[in-house]
Structure 1
Amino acid sequence: MGKATYIQPDLERWMKTFHFETDIKIRYCETDMSGHVNNVSYLIYFEQGRIDYFDRLDIGDEVLHDKAEFMVVTADITCHYHNELFFRENPTLLVRVARLGNTSMDIEYCLVVKDKNKVAATGSGTIVLVGKETKRSTPIPSQVRERIIKFEQMEMTM
């Protein structure tokens, strides 16, 4: 397994940098014959958490609406599996924007089962805003940038 280089300086301190969390409900169909959550389901949880995050910041309709002039495209995504996750466990997903660029953002994820004090998985990925007509990257709208910067308590240098 590759090292999760986005976890800095260590897991405990990295987890304290998150300001948003959402509960995840594991469906039976997301498990294998051993009752483990299937590896592809984690990416679905990351996507759901990203949508919940955008909705929490009131930017979900702006960046995810079918009539928007742009679309959100996943450029890459990584998942590191730390501990088994099972049906009937109650995980919470932590989500944060770690880097905000002109047309893209890096998002990090941490899936935890709080009542068992276990980290099930962590992940990171980049999403890019792409113009629907041009099929090229497009700048993140200023109101979206401002909400993320404020929520994440980021310092912006521009």
Structure 2
Amino acid sequence: MRAAYITDFETWSSEFSFSMAVSVRFSETDMFGHLNNTVPFAYFESARIEYFKQIGLMDSWLDPSGANIPVVADLQCDYLKQVYFDEALDIYVKAATIGNSSIDVHYMAKNEKGEIVFTGRGSVVQIGRQTGKGVPWTDADRLLLQEAK
């Protein structure tokens, strides 16, 4: 594994505590039954939202009168093994690095055999709904993110 965001693969993969199960749908595959290379990004999104819900960050973001929202600033995926129709996957999520108004979120997908089939990372920035500019994490938000690490 040569992803620049992973320095020690064993340590990195052992640090995940949150995961979400998905099953590869027929519509997510190509004519050879392989998972389309765009689909992991949708899996990352679903798992990231569930992760944020679990740690308590989504409440204020989902509030229509809330001042801030999350925006994905960048996202990447590294493919390690073929994935096929009807495979069951677990999509893991963790906050790797907490910045002033952003977090570097890491992802890992494992198949039923426990093999890592793809990994990823992306920056999520908290911005003001009205300004579109980065809004620093509150101490409470930072604590939620720290405790989830």
Regarding TM over 0.5, the answer is yes
Cα offset, 1:6, TM superposition: 1.2
Structure 1 gaps of 5+ residues are: 153-158
- Out of 35, 38, 42, which is 1:37 matched to? 35
CA deviation string 1:47-68 (max 9, x = no partner): 1110010111122222344432
User: Does the 8 Å contact 1:130/1:137 carry over to 2?
Assistant: yes
In structure 2, the residue matched to 1:142 is 139
Matches within 5 A, 1:47-58: 47-58=45-56
CA–CA distance in 2 between the matches of 1:55 and 1:123? 20
Point out the more displaced range, 26-35 or 73-82: 26-35
In structure 1, the residue matched to 2:86 is 88
In structure 1, the residue matched to 2:25 is 27
CA separation of 1:60 and 1:93: change in aligned 2, threshold 3 A = same
* Matched residue SS, 2:118: strand
* Pairwise CA RMSD: 1.6
CA–CA distance in 1 between the matches of 2:102 and 2:93? 16
* Matched residue SS, 2:88: coil
User: Does the 8 Å contact 1:64/1:72 carry over to 2?
Assistant: no
In structure 1, the residue matched to 2:129 is 132
* Matched residue SS, 1:91: strand
User: Does the 8 Å contact 1:102/1:139 carry over to 2?
Assistant: yes
Q: State the AA in 2 paired with 1:120.
A: V
Identity of aligned residues (%): 32
CA deviation string 1:61-95 (max 9, x = no partner): 22344432112111111100000111111100111
CA–CA distance in 2 between the matches of 1:44 and 1:73? 15
CA–CA distance in 1 between the matches of 2:97 and 2:145? 10
* Matched residue SS, 1:78: strand
Count of paired positions:
149
1:78 counterpart = 2:76: yes
* Structure-1-length-normalised TM-score: 0.87
CA–CA distance in 1 between the matches of 2:97 and 2:84? 31
In structure 2, the residue matched to 1:108 is 106
Q: State the AA in 2 paired with 1:7.
A: I
Moved over 4 A (4+): none
1:4 counterpart = 2:3: yes
Q: State the AA in 1 paired with 2:121.
A: S
CA–CA distance in 1 between the matches of 2:35 and 2:66? 34
Cα offset, 1:27, TM superposition: 2.0
CA–CA distance in 2 between the matches of 1:79 and 1:89? 19
